[in-house]
Chains A and B, each alone.
Chain A
Amino acid sequence: MTPTKFVGVGNYLDMLSDPAFRSSLVTFLAFAVFIVPTTFVISLGAALLVARTRVMQSFFRSVFFLPTACSYVVASLIWKMSIFSGIRSGLANGVLGWFGVDSIPWLSLADPPWYWLVIVTARLWLQVGFYMILFLAGIQRISPTLYEAAAIDGAEGWKVFRHITLPQLRATSTAVLLLLLINAFQAFDEFYNILSTFGTYPPYARPPLVYLYYTALGSGQDFGHGSAGAVILTLIIAIVAVVQGRILRLGDRGE
């Protein structure tokens, strides 16, 4: 496993021109563009609902938070075999059956890409609770006097949310967005467990880590290209993090 020959930046150039690696970056991008805002909105919504509830607040909080203790592997098992199985014994097709709709083989179809529904819902279930807790903490730190002042001014509902809650949650939102993005970069577990069967992975829906896993640890054992891919990914993440930090800070100045 010791490098036997120094090939300079050759492996980096190979990876950058490898269409499969580039398409894995596109897959990540599409995934992130959907999952980051969706998780953000749902967790914030859940936090707002739970924060305003007095009855059974801790029950609801626990229910949403509980999946955080679950692993991606267990969730993949439930999603693949129990909810989105291709036959009527799966919950989704069972429900469709009540309405007389044909069974949909969620994970066998490439077109339309129903597998995204399976992957995205699994991830939402697993991570919404954690971000909800972050938002809850942020909401509880907002001073009640701000709301009292707003009430005196006659502001309510959306206006209060837009002009008080959201700006006060700026720091929390920045952290949540960054964490969500970094998590999306690491997407591997649910893709691998839901889509691979018997050692093979379909030629679509391959995020970067899945592609690198099969490159470096598959039959090719190509550690040179695998490592080059890892370094490229690291650089991308670093750049994105810095840019995101800059954008949000610029936004600060603008306010």
Chain B
Amino acid sequence: MISERSGRATVQLRRLSDGTVSPLPQLGRHQPHSSPSLSWNARYLAVITQRGGRRLAVVADRLNGRMHPLPLPGGRAPIRLSLAPDAQQLALQVTDQGQWRVELLDLSSMLEPDRPPGQALSTPAVGADP
């Protein structure tokens, strides 16, 4: 969720089981933040940031600390976003010729899937019969 920190809209990740706030060192600046969206296990957090006076969608990978900026063609600015639960797609609301549009981006070449808890993997176990 977004909360005010030192007067700046900043994304905050709170663990629902115990209420603790998880650190997001990759997202400590580039405020204001808006439109946060999480993958299944909260490995990935997508959010709109502000850099150099322009809005930029980014995906933070909490497992390895990497940030993935997602610049839009034509320098368009994102307004809202939604990350697919497995983080393989992102939907972005943008403005195009005065109208709102929703555009889909395929992230499968950038991000490993964040699979739902308990989902069996298709890779056979070592030593398993073919």
The judgment on whether A and B are partners is no
Residues of A near any B CB (own CB < 8 A): none
Residues of B near any A CB (own CB < 8 A): none
